[in-house]
Structure 1
């Protein structure tokens, strides 16, 4: 998992509430267990018409937002079924930060395990960042995980809360496997002792 420290980039405004995981990545794309390749189907039913052509009105199809790294969204983001493919699709598209007034718990935790920083802010602060994001590629929003701040184009800065353990994992690029591998020496010692004490196991 890539480390996360500070990002300055374009933020895409998606002012919808209750964006569920099926909207993020529809069920027909859940057949893979690979984390790559899902970005093209992110928000598939909103991005493409029945003929497969891009819908020009959808924010991520617009030139200013094609390389967005930050998504500003409405309340209850990531609700619905607990599919890990949802953060996989966001990350594969290039989204590293999602800002919303609230998140579904399972989606929120899955984000941290996959290198995405979900930031919950009061509605008025989300509204201000949403308005900033509407300025397109001229709006550069900065997210500093170490300082736990997010700054708009005009320099207005908002503080956000994040669990200390989750912050440590993101800053150091540690997913569940990475956390386990930090204990590799202890695991090797345990296994060597186990093999000596209980060779029949």
Structure 2
């Protein structure tokens, strides 16, 4: 008995789909401006304390012999681990390419906005009270990525949605968007 995979065939194979060459418009867009901002040291320190405390509490609860009422502490311990991890790795970013503006807020996926949809760009001084706190702030028609106070970029798209991004070099980002 022969293996059917090793038997040579002389049939011509026809393509089921036409092969389309990639056009120049589908190439990767060149980066015009990129800026990243890490969480402040106090936020990372609080995150590290929560992470280590949550891990310690989880280890203590799981290491407890037998059935104990302390098993209810497992949920807050795991919440502490997750929140601590998120605070330690928090980072915001802003990348301007030829075709898109990409907003990064780690650990969430990046959000892409086509440059042709941006109607207005301006420099804005903001702090935590301006948008209701730090981190990713979502409101009615307003989105803000703010980890530290200071100057940032606020742009409005063609649907009227306002997005604020705090950057270390807002003037360079402003020039890249203009």
Larger Rg: 2
Normalised to the residue count of structure 2, the TM-score between the two structures is 0.23
**Higher relative contact order, structure no. (Cα contacts within 8 Å, ≥ 6 residues apart):** 1
Normalised to the residue count of structure 1, the TM-score between the two structures is 0.21
Q: Report the structure, 1 or 2, having the larger helix content.
A: 1
Q: Report the structure, 1 or 2, having the larger strand content.
A: 2
